[in-house]
Structure 1
Amino acid sequence: MIRRLPVALAIAALVGADLSSASAQAPFVAPEFYNRTRPDFGQTLPMCVLPDSPTLDLDRRVAEIIAESLLLEPKIVVLDVNMDALDHEGIWPDVLVHLSESCVGMVGTKLIDGYLYPDWLIPTAPYLTAPYVLISNDGYGSLDELPEGAAIGSPIYTQIDGQLLSYIATGAMPGARRLPYDRPELAEQLLEDGAIDAAIIWAPYLSGANAVDGAAYSAIGTVEPLRPGTQSLGIALRSSDQMLRGTFDQVIDVLDSDPEIGRLKQIARAEDL
């Protein structure tokens, strides 16, 4: 019941703690469940968001614009799930229930190349691509500027974490140590305690909703030479919504014409820091 797509999904809940950390494969779900008819939402377009998303304001605005473009009333549904009580199946069952009963799409969904993706979900085009950055208290402009034996905080279960591990393995950073973290608050604490020299963090966690404390770091650099060094967000839909995805993609393609979207993207990319 699983296929590999060019772009696959993980929910943007905790930094790095996406669905790949919960299980190597998605749980089996009978087709008659995920293909069942949704409730009649009338003249509204309910869209789910995650309460702790660092891009929450942008996610909401994207949902509103999509609804308005379809001449529907936007309705924001905050995903009702205890992120601290997930079992080995991760957040998938909760997402499926919400997409079948409460909302049409899950806004704020990470798009991850090569991830094994359950066949009851399909992604839209990305509406945001934001960089990972390097934060420190010593003015490091990139990974290559870190001293020998540096300790680097890295978001666990992310592509950028895998890239860092591979780069360290080449010997390009003699003595470098990777310290994985599962939430941005931990990276902040490690920096404040002097346990790490720098941390790789997704830019929205520096300036968006639920941002980390700016007092924890004094400099922002790049993750060069790691590539691509970015993370994109899209919208998760049920696989039966192929036509709807096409409509959503058309709206996403022209989102930048909205001034508020431009402002929120600038915040998410930490361009003013």
Structure 2
Amino acid sequence: MTTAARAKGTTADRTKGTADHASGVGPLLRGWRERRRVSQLDLALRADSSARHISFVETGRSRPSEEFLLRLADHLDVPMRERNSLLLAAGYAPRYRETSLDDPSMGTLREGLDQLLAGYEPYPALVVDATYGVIAANRGIAMMLDGLPEHLLAPPLNAMRLTLHPEGLAPRIRNLREWRGHLLHQMERQIALRRSDALREVYEEVAAYPVADPGVDAFEAGTDVPYFALPLRIEHDGHVLSFISSISTFNTPMDVTVAELAIETLLPADPATAKYLRTHLP
């Protein structure tokens, strides 16, 4: 991608599948069912099957067909990468490919992402992968990262590390405790949805960062803006900017790489922030 602040190397650092194929598909399927807190009977009703058949699959007494296994995975909301792991554990070939963003076949996607990010300027926007590795970012994000130490800006960039590291954006965030809590909770939800050791490692790293006393928090006296969502309030060049975060993903992806991409946009939460960005990034 030609967009500013592209982090090379992050596309290769994907979340690793954690399935133990030697144990068979049964324990993996049971693990996903229990993770989703769905009983065998409930899953059977959803998948037009029987609790007995689900039990036989989970105990290894019955080998599910490829289509039946994918139907169960769909009802359990199993991530695409892990659906491939289920298929491999059952003795089938992976259904979903994983294509590097550098592959020529992804050219149209890269161009589209670049246009989205550039079109959102002067407001900040970036694309991240399943472990919050930064794939691309626009000039709004580059402005916010200005002045950070080079060891944090060296690829592969990670959005959570950049935000919460004590030498990163954290000292500039006026409501750090609230925003940090939001980000950690977001990661916890993702960990609960995925079997991702790589994401858990990032979580454990950033959760262990020390948190300085924020002093006056974001909702200080004199702030009369009626925020409609938790804002990120961050200092830049002596000004306090306020943003509302929005995250978008691709509908019905057919590639693991695409399924794990997310586009985060930061919408100005007040007129002063919008004016400041238009002035500094014309």
Structure number with higher helix proportion: 2
Q: Which has the higher contact order (CA 8 A, sep 6+)?
A: 1
Flag the structure with larger Rg.
Answer: 2
- TM-score, normalization by structure 1: 0.25
- TM-score, normalization by structure 2: 0.25
